[in-house]
Amino acid sequence: MPAPDPAAVDLLGLVAYGELLAFDRLAADARLAPDLRRRAALSELAAAGIAHYRWITDRIAALGATPEDAVAPYAEALEAYHDSTEPRDWLEAVTKAYVGDAITDDFLREIADGLDGPERRLVLDVLHDTRYAEFAAAEIRAGIAADPRVANRLSM
C-alpha cells in the first residue's frame, strides 16, 4: 500500500478532532436546554458530530494512518478554544454552536478545494445541515425578543 498523503491525513485529523470535540461539548450543552424539544435538537447536532468523527477516522485508517496520531496535533488548541468559550446558559450554548458551525463550514468549504476524490467528498459531507442553523437562529431571535439586553451578552 502506498504511503498516505500527509496533507490529507493532517487535514482529516483536524476535522476529526473538531467533530469529536463538538460532540462532547454539544452533548453537555444540551443539558442547558429549557425543555425536552430543545434538548433533543442540540443532542441531534451532537449525534451528527460523532457520526462525522467516525466517517473521518475510518477514512484516515483506510489511508493507512492512525486516527489517534492524526488528531493529536490539534487536541490542545481546539480544547483551549472550547474551554475559553464555555457557555453559561442555553442562549450562549446555541449562539456558540451557531457561530462555530458557520465558521467551521466556511473553513471546510475552502480547504475541500485543495483535496482530491474521496477526501474532498468526505469533508463536504460533514458540513452542517442548515436546519440546525435555522433552529439556532430562531432560538437566538426568540431570546433577544424576550429580553433585548441579551443581545449584548451574545454578541461576539
Q: What is the CATH number of the domain that holds 125?
A: 1.20.1260.10
Within-domain flag for 112 = yes
Q: In the prediction, which pLDDT does 116 show? A: 80
Q: In the prediction, which pLDDT does 50 show? A: 95
Total-model pTM: 0.86
Q: In the prediction, which pLDDT does 128 show? A: 76
Q: How many domains does the chain contain in total? A: 1
Within-domain flag for 1 = no
Within-domain flag for 145 = yes
Interior angle at CA 18, CA 101 and CA 12, nearest 5: 115
* Residue range of the domain that includes 17: 6-154
CB 33 within 8 A of CB 9: no
Q: In the prediction, which pLDDT does 60 show? A: 96
Within-domain flag for 35 = yes
Q: In the prediction, which pLDDT does 4 show? A: 66
Q: In the prediction, which pLDDT does 62 show? A: 94
Residue 128 and residue 104: Cα distance in Å, rounded?
9
Q: For the chain, which residues score pLDDT lower than 50? A: none
Within-domain flag for 27 = yes
CA 117 from chain centre, in angstroms, equals 23
